[in-house]
Structure 1
């Protein structure tokens, strides 16, 4: 397993470098073929390379991705290493170790009938080219197991917030800021007032929807103006929204689309919207219970669960109504950060748990 993990990690696969993603797909395809016995279907959408193995009529989908957030050349500063039982390297935790665990788990099964494996190449940048493929693959399945890394302490992820992304564009009017500012319409002031309104939107959403887990509405990137002596004619505010329920996602979407600028003459344009639906706890409850019983049967440590704010492709499968259990991948930490790492001793137990789960669902 460590040899396979090294093979994947040293093949860098930064999401934005499509050639690198294609090279990574070659390596993942060859490794998967060695363990599963057949090469995958290679699917390229808008230059992004995805891989799919299908065995008979699928009843369970195993879902992962091979792209990472690490820019090309990161191996020079974050080299592959295994020291004192800890494996390190770009993408080792998110989520190349999950792919290795998946391949080894499946290789241990007496039959792969009823299994679909999908490894996408653009999860880290929003899954724009793979969403239709994910939904097509999950639509016919009774369960989806997501090989994303676990939560703290190895917890399985039984709930994920849904995500929405907006770009609020304020259209004003330029004027000389010294000679005749009164002839302009200041888009920056309008944007500032929108930011204050957005800050209160999450509180309103939580009071209205009353989920036990809070919605967040966060203005992030803000830009305005073109010159220091000109009234800004345009301003943009990017907004990151995280919601625990579909009801909250719809409420926030309606509220944002109903916003108007309070600066006379300024016009507001709303771009974007919901991206990933929430993975609500009800989607995972039964699968987590079964996983706990199987872990006990296999002599593995008791399982714990976590609800997390980050989204994954499991949000799409849960949004379709397919029961989904996430976080079945590596145990470790530091995703996207300098201390990204995997606990080597957990690779085999996690693979054993996945193998038992797949057998339970497909038999």
Structure 2
């Protein structure tokens, strides 16, 4: 064997060792493609991002019309061709994942975003940010919680904390998730860092990163991602974080992550590395396992319950004799507030509705607090107390 051949073998071994240190798997890097056409910052921005991702341990492919050192180009002439090429590469197994600016996910699939919170620089998953988990809002948010847990676990967080943003549907989502936990699906509820705590999060908690997974509807999540990724750049250049994330849904077997046309090079690079983590973390296997666990905990039946419209009575309910009401009961969904009051009246408990600093409240006399809470819990207007977090 010649000295040149020996040197080539040594060089190959050192390259493989370097790949091992970067990828964590001998001789293998996550194969991640990104579509370049359609970016508001130009196709070259995507190529630059891919080149940086390649230096960070990604086997990068750009689906576009240009070239750059260190990156493979899959040549196409327009966006339509780019998406066809993306599908082809995924179907043939030539790439493990793809990052793209839009994708028509089916109903039941939505994306879990990932941000860096400005308060403490903590990473947080936003569940979800694009797509539609369900046409029913509460059912969708319950699913979003599971999607967020799947994504966090694939990124190495073994027992992610879960918070629910205080939007319409949050309290009913909390009730459904509490049931799911009680029936065997392990959910590690987060606690708000505000004084009154609880798993329902306030805006402050978004900034502080009080939960690993923050659950909300996808429209709100989309807004959050846009704000967190571009607030330092004036809104037209998304520079921070990892983008809108992977599409998650039961039975969906493609690893496709979403970015925006406004996404800049740092975010695109982050999205490609995010994709690489999900590949190495075996997202598909984790998703299969988590869905199986959730169904064993009666997920289907619990989701059916979220669609039921609770009414205290269709008949006119008269209020009992008026009393001084100083005791506050929180955790009521805004859409259920008046029905909850009428339910208490029907049970001979005088109550009034109000709005506290954390959302809707019911006011009752101090002497009736325990009775009122039990009536509301038994009829699923508020969640049962949890010994967690």
Q: TM-score, normalised by structure 1?
A: 0.24
- Larger relative contact order (C-alpha < 8 A, sep ≥ 6)? 1
Q: Which has the higher strand share?
A: 1
Q: Which has the larger radius of gyration?
A: 2
